[in-house]
Every structure is written in C-alpha cells, then in structure tokens.
Structure 1
C-alpha cells in the first residue's frame, strides 16, 4: 500500500509549491514547532542500527550519537555540513541501490514477487473505508497527503531550506524535485522490504524489535560482501545525523529531518527570541558575543533532551517510519492547521486561532497517546511459516488476509473507538480540529469580523487572493458609481 505514496507526492508537493510557499517565502520567518519531538525519532533510528550491527547497548548508542551531533554543530556551526552533504546523499543513494542489487544476487525478481504475492504482501487495492484500517488506499492517500504537508509545508526544518533560495521560483523548483527523488527512495524501500520478506519467508529471525529486521538481514545475507556493513551503517548515519544542505538542488531530498540541522535550528531560534525579548525588555543586553557563547552550549542541552525521548521511542513496539508519522501527525497536524487557518480564513483572529491550535494539540495527542496506552495493535499478516517453534519470537494472529489492518481485539466501545483510528489520519485529525474550533470560536466569541480588512492580502494563499480580487474590484466600481451619482445630485 505504501506505493500509493507516488500519488501522495503528486498531490502534496504541488500544494506546497503553489499554495503554501508563495506566502511563507515572502514572510521569511522560522519556528521550531515539533522539531525537538522528531529529533528523538531521527536519533533512535541510526542508533538502533548501530546497536544491531555492533552489539553496543542501545542506550549507549543513543547517547554517543546525540553527543556526536551536538559537538558537530556546536563547533562547526550551521555551515559544518554544507560541504559534506552532497557526499552523504550519494552514500545514501549508493547504499540503497547496492542493498537491492546484492539482495537479488541469490534470487530473482520473479521469485521475490511470487513469494510476496503468496504472502498477501502485494495488495494494492484495499478500498476499505473504515478508518480503523491502517493501510488502505484512503488512509494512505488522504492521511499521507496530510503527513507530507506537515513535513514540507509547515515544518521549520523544511522551510529554512526554502528561505535561502534566491527567489520563489527556485524554491518551488526545489520543492517539486522532491517528487522524482522521493519516488526513487520509495521504490527502493519497497524493493528492499520485499527482498527481506522473501529471505525470511520460511522462518522469521529472533528479534527484540521489528526495527532490527533490516540490520539483521544485512548481517545474515550480505555480511560476506566486503564493506557492505560499513556502507550500510554510513548510510543510516548520513540519513539520520547529517546536516541537510541549505542550498540548491540537494536541499530537502530526504524525507527525514536530521539531528544536526535540528540542533542548529533550535539554537538559532532560541537565540533570536532571547535577543529580541531581553533587548526589548531591557533586562540585560544580549549582544552578539554572548549569543555566540550560549549557542555553543544549547546543542548539548537539546542533545540530552533528545536522548531521553529517543529512549522512550525504543519502548514503542512499532517500526520507526510509523513512529515518525505519529510524531508528525500528532504534533505537526495542529501546526499545519494553524497555517491553513491563517492562509485561507481571513476572518479568524488571534484568539480564535489560539483556541484552535490548543484544542487540536489536545485532541491529537489524546488520540495518539490513548492508542499507545490501550495497545490498539492492528492485525498483522503471518510472518512465520514452516519454522521451528523455538525460533518464533514475534507473535502474530494468523488472521485471514481480509482482516489485515484491523485492531486485534475489538474491546473498545463508544468514543473509545477513536483510539483505533489509523495513525495515518493523525495529521488530518489535527488539521480539521484546528480549523473547526477556530471558526466556531471566532463566530461565538470573536465578535464582528469586519475588522479583518486590516489583514494584508499578501498573508493569504494565492487561491484566496484570486477570489478576493474580483470582489474588491466590484466593490470599488460600485463605490465609484455611488460617488459619481452623489456628485451629480
């Protein structure tokens, strides 16, 4: 079902380029939003891979990775990764391609597809509209579009890349380049997954977490190839810890945010806010020298915070990609909703917008945390066949394929059923709840919206401005005619 993200890219990235970006690029502002939350996922993924490949304890791996990123950005600054970013991106692409090529060395593409078909892994047309189904066409396309918009339309780590472009057209070109590059990455992900499934189809390995499956495959099937383990580890760290390039074509090609750029962004924003607040309040003079000194220590503080949250991520019994979507859905959905309110609803004022984002954050996290607490796990397709009992370690209900994706035990009633909703919809829940609460609050408690005329049209989406211009032209003509009649009388 993940292949439907091809359609998601064709929908989401043009929306980012032509609906959101024209306004945001003109404003040239930044904010941290959910950056610190997502750092934990970006840290957990490469640390888990290193732990699986080398045997280093996971907590030690997490701590070392965070410290490495913090020191990297503290002493090198935001420019530290610009010269190495292109090389790191080549390492990522090369390792993924090599992984697929070597994985097909002892099998054929036809055998891989046949095994996947027999295991019901090639179902691309799941049209079930039940929102409890984790991966149907509807959940992937609708929810996936919301997730991609959270990543690229209202996420500071993405926006700061667009802002350094010379003009809006260059920024839009960078956004649209995500379509082919992300499509290639997606195709490689799916190919790798099918190869791994075919390799372990007869007997699933003993694992502590499903996130260890790919590193285990590299050790079991590819370790005899010289250098492949090092290449794989380098690719994981290049994707997870690298400083995303802030210029030209390579900007934003990979879907995951990175630790070093996150620490740099968090430090820069905090320093900016502190400088403004201190200098405005005349509490103390926060000059440039003091700001540079503080900025060198902030990444260390953020690193320790990220370590704690990454350890929490290691306790979640789900794959890293789903964890990242949950974070960006629950935390990014309300933020995206605020952007939608600001760009499309001119009459909504600050108080209503604040009520909207607070309500949507509470609702989104209630759904996400409630689902985790109540363990609303979906039915999984069988992973083990013709395998000795002692090797079966990941429990799965041998349900019929048509039940795939539903919650295992329907133990929820009434409103509690919302905790069974697919994680793909979390971002949509955040957006809709924000927009609905903001509009209702404005109409009920915001008073007259006649003062919305003081909102500049430049702060609205081009779609809204195009509809307002004919209205304003008609009003201007009508006012002119009334003035002429008055003068004539």
Structure 2
C-alpha cells in the first residue's frame, strides 16, 4: 500500500482485500467454534432437547462471545515483533496441543476423553504462559558495520588492521529472564504436542477407555490391529 499510495484508489482496494480475506476466514472459524460448542458441550449437559429457536439464539450468543474474544486477543499483537513471529507463536501455542489431542485420538486407543481433555487444557495453559506470560529477552542482532573489514574493491595498498570495538551500551544478560521465556517460538508446537501426549497417556492409567472402539475412527495401522483383536476375541467366544 505504501508503494502504490500515489495512485488513487489502490490503497483502499488493498485494505478492502485484506479485510475481506481475513474476515471470511475468521467468520468461518467463529461459526465452527460456536457449532461445536453447542453440539458437543452444551446439548449433552441439557436434560431436555433445545428447540430450533433457542438453539439459533444460543449459537448467535456463542458467535458474539468468540468474536469478542478474538478482538481481545488481537491486542496481544502489540507484544509481537513481526507478523511471522505472531502467526507462528499463535499456531504453536494452540496448534501444538490440538495436534497432540488428535494424535491421542487416532493412534492411542487406550486413552479416553477423561484423560485427553485435561491434558489438552493443561498443555494449552502452559503454552499461553510460555508464549505470553512474561517478558522476552531482546533479540541479539548481528553487527552490520564494515569498519574493520579489510576487503576493498578499489586499487589500494593492502594493510592488516588490528583494532578493538567497544560499546557504551551494556547488553542485558539473559540470566535475568526465566529460562522458559528464552525459548524460541519455533519450539512451542513441539512443547504443546509433547505435554498433551505425555499427560494423556499417563491419565489413561487413571481413566482408561472402557467403551467399545470403532476401528474406522483410528489410523489405518491401529484400525487393523483393533479389527484383528476383535476377530480373535470373537473366535475365542465361539469356542
């Protein structure tokens, strides 16, 4: 937009394109969140079924809630250094635990909802704490000075130069920061995934899966193993 600001209408067209693209993506995500919340979390807790009118009103209220939450989270963008770091930080904080939750459901048949959901919540809380919970150490930038560079493209006599560089500004030591705050945002996905996976598997020791499993809902390898176990169990019962 800055490069084409001399042309009338181009800046407005650029902003309109950015807003329409972002709003279309955000609206579909908010509608999906509202629908999933209503179907999977609210309706199972109700004793009587919701009427279509009440369900529509409740869905709109959920859309409003998630929309306001999205606006609130947008103020955290000022804590980010750039759009790439911001997007990868949010993806790592949210996507890591979510990736671990889907992995638990597809690959580990012994885990249950009572063990997977708390592990996801704990992992998400830890990710939010690491990503946004404290000050980050300043990023050390490489020096761009060419004062001591002995390379020259001009015809001149070669001299070896020996010198020292000092600065009056005292760099802040990273020891003053909590070690988790010094982690790169590139590690957030792995951290969230690992916490969800480990806690979900450990929680299955307390809350094991007791329902009959559908092999078609797991990965192909795990599905074949479950079908083989089911077949062998049926043969033992027949004998």
Q: Same fold (TM over 0.5)?
A: yes
How much does 1:429 deviate?
Answer: 0.8
Q: Indicate the residue corresponding to 1:375 in structure 2.
A: 136
List aligned pairs for 1:334-353, cutoff 5 A: 334-353=97-116
Aligned counterparts of 2:22 and 2:82: Cα–Cα separation in 1: 15
List aligned pairs for 1:304-323, cutoff 5 A: 304-313=68-77, 315-323=78-86
> Pick from 429, 432, 453: which aligns with 2:194?
432
Is structure 2 residue 47 aligned with structure 1 residue 281?
yes
List aligned pairs for 1:38-57, cutoff 5 A: none
Aligned counterparts of 2:40 and 2:114: Cα–Cα separation in 1: 22
Aligned counterparts of 1:362 and 1:259: Cα–Cα separation in 2: 23
Distance 1:345 1:311, change over 3 A: same
Aligned counterparts of 2:38 and 2:113: Cα–Cα separation in 1: 25
> Pick from 441, 451, 459: which aligns with 2:217?
459
Find the residue that maps to 2:79 and give its secondary structure. coil
Bigger radius of gyration among the two = 2
Greater displacement, 464-473 / 429-438: 464-473
- The answer to whether the Cα contact below 8 Å between 1:274 and 1:286 also exists between their aligned partners in 2 is no
Q: Indicate the residue corresponding to 2:127 in structure 1.
A: 364
How much does 1:369 deviate?
Answer: 2.6
Q: When you count helix as a share of all residues, which structure comes out higher?
A: 1
> Pick from 386, 408, 412: which aligns with 2:175?
412
> Pick from 225, 228, 235: which aligns with 2:10?
228
Q: Indicate the residue corresponding to 2:29 in structure 1.
A: 262
Distance 1:412 1:228, change over 3 A: same
Q: Which runs of 5+ in 2 are unaligned?
A: 147-170
Q: Indicate the residue corresponding to 2:150 in structure 1.
A: none
- The answer to whether the Cα contact below 8 Å between 1:335 and 1:357 also exists between their aligned partners in 2 is yes
Aligned counterparts of 2:7 and 2:145: Cα–Cα separation in 1: 27
Q: Indicate the residue corresponding to 1:237 in structure 2.
A: 19
Deviation per residue, 1:228-280 (Å, 9 max, x gap) = 323321221122112xxxxxxxxxxxxxxx222233234434554687257x4
Deviation per residue, 1:265-320 (Å, 9 max, x gap) = 34434554687257x424xx74222333454555444443333322232x314213
- The answer to whether the Cα contact below 8 Å between 1:275 and 1:286 also exists between their aligned partners in 2 is no
Deviation per residue, 1:433-469 (Å, 9 max, x gap) = 11112222333x34xx6x6572221221123223444
Aligned counterparts of 1:271 and 1:468: Cα–Cα separation in 2: 31
Aligned counterparts of 2:95 and 2:213: Cα–Cα separation in 1: 25
Aligned counterparts of 2:17 and 2:10: Cα–Cα separation in 1: 10
Aligned counterparts of 2:10 and 2:142: Cα–Cα separation in 1: 30
How much does 1:426 deviate?
Answer: 0.8
